[in-house]
């Protein structure tokens, strides 16, 4: 078995900055207290949680750290965004009012399933799925604007960077289109919810500049923290249009039976994953210290070398890897380091197994929890082993040598398969 090279960062980044593990270990060995309490260890833990909020707020362009709320992961944040906005709109407008949500064909199941669950329960809720370019995965912001129904649309959901094609959507343009229909505390306005699972920590994201109302994030991907922590960033004022979807203990106002309305407690019932938040804080600190510009430049250099070695043409066909096709845009500025490939004859599982067993390249095969994106790309066969593709995803600790090794591995596997098929034929 060759030594391994990790190309599954879109699932979970690895390795982590050393400070992440050090901070988590220090917390568990020296403090261990929850972040709610009056004694010194609890106060210390609370301060560390506040510091993580502040770092995240700085990263996304917010000035109020209390508008960063913690949960389990991106899916948890997206569920709060979708169901909280829906619940507030229903509460204000009544059960019979027509409500409308706009999503895109590039969404992850973390959006598709909560929206579908609401639609199955509510006959007065309608959903529009905005398509994308089948070659690049890019969405035309004008198509989103055309899908909005003034007075009915309460939410637009957009996946910033695709976990299938790596496509980065133009959030500034999409945000401007949504802002034309009003937002914030007005219950008639359209809110923009962004899935930043594959973009935060890889590209610059500024909520105020891009008119983003709600932004869901994972701790364990581009932010370089542990699993089990993530959340939702809320533009100030939008909390008036976002109901809670869980209630419970908060450590304050314990005498009242209704859940507190102040942020962040409004959306954080129960004990925090304090250890996870402290680890996440150090991952974000690593990014802030280096700067997103530098992190992005490193990823761009890796992407350029990877594409040069494979030499895909305008259709995605790779000149140096016969039978292999790359999904998504070729332009570096339109993508993050997420590359999904399909082969004319090898199934995704076969290709992934060959990459691991012969070259130690660790990838992810399948539909990647994004069935509509694969359907758009023509890679969603009906549930058999040929569905989806093989995804290689980059992280900040990969090197040029790593990506050249992965490219050579793909070229070798495809060339040897072509030669073997010719001999057999």
Instruction: Give residue 300's domain range.
Output: 5-14+292-424
pLDDT score of 31: 81
Assess whether 276 and 326 both reside in one domain: no
Assess whether 132 and 175 both reside in one domain: yes
Question: Could you list the mean pLDDT of each consecutive 10-residue stretch along the chain, which spans 425 residues?
Answer: 93 98 94 74 86 98 97 97 97 96 98 98 98 97 97 97 98 95 72 98 97 98 98 96 89 77 90 94 98 98 97 92 96 97 95 97 96 92 74 98 98 92 74
**Domain containing residue 86: CATH number:** 3.40.640.10
Assess whether 30 and 71 both reside in one domain: yes
Closest to 203 in 3D by CA, of 325, 335, 75, 85: 335
Whether the Cβ atoms of residue 207 and residue 215 lie closer than 8 Å to each other: yes
How many structural domains comprise the chain?
A: 2
Assess whether 278 and 420 both reside in one domain: no
Assess whether 156 and 102 both reside in one domain: yes
**Domain containing residue 320: CATH number:** 3.90.1150.10
Q: Work out the angle at residue 205's Cα, subtended by the Cα atoms of residues 187 and 136, and round it to the nearest 5 degrees.
A: 95
pLDDT score of 185: 52
Q: Which residue has the tokens 């040029």?
A: 400
Assess whether 108 and 209 both reside in one domain: yes
pLDDT score of 384: 59
Assess whether 43 and 126 both reside in one domain: yes
Helix axes 74-93, 109-121, angle to 10 degrees: 30
pLDDT score of 253: 73
Cis bond before residue 244 (omega within 30° of 0): no
Assess whether 304 and 216 both reside in one domain: no
Assess whether 329 and 277 both reside in one domain: no
Assess whether 47 and 114 both reside in one domain: yes
CA distances, 132 to each of 83, 103, 136, 165 (Å): 25, 11, 8, 12
Three-state DSSP state, 8: strand
């Amino acid at each position: 078995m060759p030594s391994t090279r990790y190309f599954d960062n879109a699932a979970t980044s690895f390795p982590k900055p050393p400070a992440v593990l050090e901070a988590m270990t220090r917390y568990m060995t020296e403090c261990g207290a929850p972040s709610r309490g009056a004694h010194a260890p609890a106060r210390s833990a609370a301060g560390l949680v506040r510091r993580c909020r502040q770092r995240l707020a700085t990263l996304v362009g917010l000035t109020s750290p209390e508008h960063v709320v913690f949960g389990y992961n991106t899916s948890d944040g997206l569920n709060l965004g979708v169901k909280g906005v829906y619940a507030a709109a229903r509460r204000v407008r009544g059960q019979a009012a027509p409500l409308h949500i706009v999503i895109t064909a590039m969404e992850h199941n973390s959006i598709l399933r909560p929206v579908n669950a609401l639609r199955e329960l509510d006959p007065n809720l309608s959903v529009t799925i905005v398509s994308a370019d089948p070659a690049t995965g890019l969405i035309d912001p004008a198509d989103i604007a055309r899908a909005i129904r003034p007075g009915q649309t309460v939410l637009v959901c957009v996946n910033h960077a695709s976990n299938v094609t790596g496509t980065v959507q133009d959030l500034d343009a999409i945000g401007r289109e949504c802002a034309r229909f009003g937002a914030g505390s007005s219950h008639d306005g359209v809110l923009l919810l962004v899935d930043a699972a594959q973009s935060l920590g890889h590209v610059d994201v500024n909520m105020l500049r891009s008119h983003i109302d709600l932004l869901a994030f994972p701790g364990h991907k581009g932010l370089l923290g542990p699993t089990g922590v993530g959340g939702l960033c809320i533009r100030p004022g939008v909390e008036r249009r976002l109901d809670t979807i869980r209630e419970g203990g908060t450590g304050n106002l314990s005498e009242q039976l209704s859940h507190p309305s102040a942020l962040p407690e409004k959306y954080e019932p129960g004990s925090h994953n304090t250890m996870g938040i402290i680890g996440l804080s150090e991952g974000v600190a690593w990014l802030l210290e280096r700067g997103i510009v530098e992190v992005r430049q490193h990823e761009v250099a890796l992407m350029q070398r990877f594409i040069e070695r494979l030499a895909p043409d305008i259709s995605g066909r790779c000149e140096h890897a016969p039978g292999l096709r790359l999904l998504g845009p070729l332009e570096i500025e339109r993508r993050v380091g997420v590359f999904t490939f399909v082969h004319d004859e090898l199934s995704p599982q076969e290709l992934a197994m060959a990459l691991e067993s012969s070259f130690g390249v660790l990838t992810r095969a399948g539909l990647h929890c994004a069935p509509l994106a694969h359907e758009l790309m023509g890679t969603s066969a009906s549930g058999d082993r040929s569905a989806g593709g093989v995804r290689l995803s980059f992280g900040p600790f990969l090197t040029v040598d790593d990506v050249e090794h992965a490219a050579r591995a793909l070229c070798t596997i495809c060339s040897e398969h072509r030669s073997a098929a010719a001999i057999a034929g």
